[in-house]
Amino acid sequence: MAERVFTMPDLGEGLEEGRIVRWLVAEGARVELNQPLVEVETAKAVVEIPSPFAGRIQALHGSDGEDVFVGSPLVTFEVEGGLVAPIAESWTSYPPTPQVSATPPVRKLAKELGVDIGTVRGTGRDGRVTEDDVRSASGGPADVTRIELTPVRRAIAANLERQVTIPQVTTFRTVDCSALQTFRTELGVSPLPVVVAALCRVANDHPLINARWSADAILAANGVNVGLAIDTEKGLIVAVVRDAHTLGIAKLATESTRLAGAARAGSLTPDDIAGATIAVSNTGSYGSEAGTPILSPGTSVTLAIGVIRERALVIDGQVVARPAATLSLTFDHRVLDGAAAGRALTQLVDLLQSDERLRDLPR
C-alpha cells in the first residue's frame, strides 16, 4: 500500500483557502474514485469535492469549520501501488483538539502563548475559539470587539489588495434613460440585461474594453464573459455570464437572475465565477447615484450603473425632467488611454439613448 496526499485544490480565481463545511467520509473508511469526500465553502460557493483516488482514508486534515489553504493537505489515502505524494514542506499541521473548534492560525497563537486551547471557552460562531478568546485566556489585551473574517471577506480583501496596484481611472457620463425605460418595460426586464447587451455591442467596436494586461502583450478576448457584481449576505460576489455576446436580452435576464439566486444561496459552481473579461456593477440597485468601481481580476473595464431617477436635463435648450442615470467606467490605464475609454463610453451612452439602436439589440 502506498500513501498519497490530496491537497486542497484551487476552486476558483483568486481563492486562497476553503472552509470545511462537513466531511462525507470518516478515517479508516474505504472510498471509490470520484466518491464525494467533503463539502467546502469558498468565497463564492459551497463545493462538493470528489475523491481523486480509490483506497482507504488514512487521515482527514481538518475538522468542520476549519479553513484550509489551497495546496495544503486535505486527505491522506492508502492506495494500491504508486508513489508517495509528499506533504508540502511549507505547511504546518495543527491537529484539532476534540470538541474544540478553531482555525489553524488560532491554534498556532494558542501554542505560541502557551494556552491549552482545550480549556478555552469559544465566543465565536458555533462556539469557535477566536484569537481574542486565546489572548484573554493568556491574560493579554482584548479591548476591541473582534468580527471574524469569513472566506468571502478574506477573498474580497485579497482581490482588492491585488487590484489596487493597477493604475485605474474612472470616467463618468450622464445618460438620458427615457428610451431605455420604455424599451425595457416593453420587454418586461430590468435595465441591467439591456445595458449588458448594449455593452457587448460596444465591445465589438472597442475590443480594448474586453481585454486584459499581461507581461508582454495586451490580450483581447474573442468572446464577452460579463462579470456581474452581486450583493449577498456574505459579501460581494462576481458571477459570470458566459458568452454574453451570443445571448439575447431575455436570456441575459434569465441568466442574471439564476446567478444572483445561486450567489445568495451559496451554490455557484467554479464555472460560474471564473473567466470574466469585463464587469458590470448595478450600484443603482441600492440607491447609489454613482460610484468608482474597482476592476475585477482579469479585466480592463468595470461599468457601474447608478440609480435611474428623474433629473433636470437640458434638452433642445429647455430644462426638462427626464429619467436619467450616471454611468461610471473604471479602466486599466495600461490597456486603455482616457480617450479610448471615453469613446467607448460615449458610444454606449448614445446607444442607450437611441430608441432605434436599442430595438436593434438581440432580444
Active site amino acids:
333, 337
What does the DSSP 8-state code read for residue 44?
S
Task: Indicate the helix (H) or strand (E) that contains 198.
Answer: helix 191-205
d(CA 18, CA 10): 9
Which has the closest alpha carbon to 280: 241, 314, 247? Answer: 241
Q: How many CB atoms lie within 10 A of CB 285?
A: 15
User: What whole-number distance in Å separates Cα of residue 71 and Cα of residue 91?
Assistant: 9
* Beta strand 55-60 pairing with 73-79: antiparallel
DSSP 275: -
Reduce the secondary structure of 104-149 to three states and give it as a string.
HHHHHHHHHHCCCHHHCCCCCHHHCCCHHHHHHHHCCCCCCCCCCC
DSSP state of 215: S
Cα–Cα nearest to 196, from 130, 259, 111: 259
Handedness of CA 301, 229, 292, 248 (dihedral sign): positive
297 close to 163: Cβ distance less than 8 angstroms: yes
Residue whose cell numbers read 454611468: 327
- Residues 250 and 363 sit within 8 Å (Cβ to Cβ): yes
Query: Cα 189 to the chain's mean position, in Å?
Result: 25
User: Residue 313: which H helix or E strand, with range?
Assistant: strand 309-315
Nearest to 280, CA basis, from 262, 293, 268: 293
The residue assigned the cell 485566556 is 137
* C-alpha 352 chain-centroid distance: 28
